[in-house]
Amino acid sequence: MRNLKHCITIIFLLAAALHSAAQDPYAKSFNISRHNFVDTIKIEIWKGAIIIPAEINGSTKNLMFDTGAEKGFWVAEKEEWMTPIDSIIIVDSNKKSQKIPLYKFPPIKIGNTTIENYTMVRSETFNNYVCGKIDGALGFNLAAKGLSIKFDTKDSLMVVTDRKGFFAKEEKKHTALKYYKDTKPDVLIQFPYGKYQMLFDSGYIGGWIDLSQYWLDKRSSNNTKIKEAIDKTTVRVDTTIKSQASLLGLVQDTIIAKTLHIPEFGIGDAKFEDLWLSTGTRSMLVGSCVLKYASLIINAQKQHLVFLPHNENSGVVIGNEDFDDFHIYPTYGDSIGALKVTVREGSKEYMKGIRTGDYMISADGIPISDYCTYRLLKNKGKIKKIIFRTPDGEDKEIEWEE
């Protein structure tokens, strides 16, 4: 089995599982400039997320493909050509709802194909996490419109077509997962506790699995075998502060959750081992980390997903036992500091003296003014010392080598 450095980031970067509270008349109203075509486009894979270069109004923009959003959304600065055409009520992945403007975009050119009259909502919040890496996202309405897509995440290529059966030869060798909504792909995923219907959300950047305690309790309440399987894989039960970002902002919940150690699970033909996860979530979804190790075909005509493992002869050992011990999130204008933390009791960060509610002030002497500053320092190399400040104003220097 092949091992890896786990994909979970310090804060879950959860792009919006975005949908309208009512039927959106604009969701499929866009046009595609070509018919009976096949196009191959060079893309970028970032923490498993799919980044597509697109030309909008004469300049290149980076658009993520988000299977968890039924429509597009924009996170970069507002452009002069953006004029609202309507307003809609949306519900994001944190179940927050809000009435926000809807924008019709200029023609979006991707490869040799142009998408016309595409609509997007806009979020100012999410850019605090992606730090300019993406400008916006295209939703799953591309597949709902009839486009089948292969994301070759091994060679960083996207093949898009409207031809029926174009990927049939590749699909024939692999398990097809039927999805149950044309706006977002819910599929059945095999766990030790049986099969669960889960959203495959490529916009859940840097995430593996969200498995809800509510659904586990519901499935195990009248099933002794499932309850025994859950108990067997339970490592701890505690009170968890769950911080989760999505299109409309940050939500924190204090909840009773279990930490599970799942020996193995499968997503189609992609097999994984040694997964640790917290059930302190309201979601049932699979995140973008899967696409670091498997390509994906979305068959729009047959409404199924096919995962193509990069290494078909072995699975992937995740080994992410410290996945949810320490989270960082922006405070949005707090006078004490720009970043705040949540820490699980007993974790290595807790043992160093960091506590939930502390603020991150500086790293190796450099002031931390926002999340993107911290991420830039972290990407440059190992951080040796971080100064944290308590809500009472007491500073503490923490040795930080990871």
Radius of gyration of the chain (CA): 21
Domains in the chain: boundaries: 9-20+29-171, 326-399
Which residue shows structure tokens 């970002």?
245
Name the DSSP class of 78. Answer: P
Phi–psi pair at 128, nearest 5 degrees: -65, -20
CATH 2.40.70.10 for domain 9-20+29-171: yes
Question: Does residue 5 have a pLDDT over 50?
Answer: no
- Integer angstrom CA distances of residue 358 from 240, 338, 341, 378: 16, 11, 6, 19
Share of the chain above pLDDT 70, in %: 88
Tens of pLDDT, residue by residue over 58-107, are 999 999 999 988 889 898 988 988 889 988 877 766 677 778 888 999 99
CATH 2.30.42.10 for domain 326-399: yes
Residue 313 buriedness (CB in 10 A; 0-12 / 13-18 / 19+):
exposed
Tens of pLDDT, residue by residue over 257-279, are 888 999 988 899 999 999 988 88
Return the structure tokens found at 15.
Answer: 């792009």
Average pLDDT, the chain: 85
Please calculate the CA angle 130-74-202 and round it to the nearest 5 degrees. Answer: 60
Question: Does residue 35 have a pLDDT over 50?
Answer: yes
Return the structure tokens found at 325.
Answer: 């011990």
> Mapping DSSP to helix (H, G, I), strand (E, B) and coil, where does residue 377 land?
helix
Mean pLDDT of the region 4-11: 41
Neighbours of 106 (CB within 10 A): 16
Q: What is the pLDDT of residue 277?
A: 87
Mean pLDDT of the region 97-118: 91
Q: What is the pLDDT of residue 115?
A: 97
Q: What is the pLDDT of residue 243?
A: 61
Q: What is the pLDDT of residue 251?
A: 65
Strands (E), 247-346: 249-267, 270-278, 285-286, 294-299, 304-309, 316-317, 326-330, 339-343
Tens of pLDDT, residue by residue over 229-241, are 999 999 888 776 6
Q: Which of 118-122, 126-130, 198-202, 385-389 has the lowest mean pLDDT?
A: 126-130
**What is d(CA 257, CA 340) in angstroms, rounded to the nearest whole number?**
22
Q: Which of 122-126, 190-194, 223-227, 315-319 has the lowest mean pLDDT?
A: 122-126
For 49, residues 6+ apart whose C-beta sits below 8 A from its C-beta are 64, 134, 202, 203, 205, 206, 288, 291
Helix (H) or strand (E) holding 351: helix 348-351
Question: Does residue 321 have a pLDDT over 80?
Answer: no
The pTM score is 0.86
H-type alpha helices, 67-134: 127-130
> Is the Cβ–Cβ distance between 322 and 348 less than 8 Å?
yes
| Residue 372 CA from chain centroid, whole number | 18
Mean pLDDT of the region 18-24: 55
Mean pLDDT of the region 212-231: 90
Assign 6 a pLDDT band (cuts: 50, 70, 90). Answer: very low
> Is the Cβ–Cβ distance between 208 and 277 less than 8 Å?
yes
Q: What is the pLDDT of residue 223?
A: 92
Q: What is the pLDDT of residue 391?
A: 92
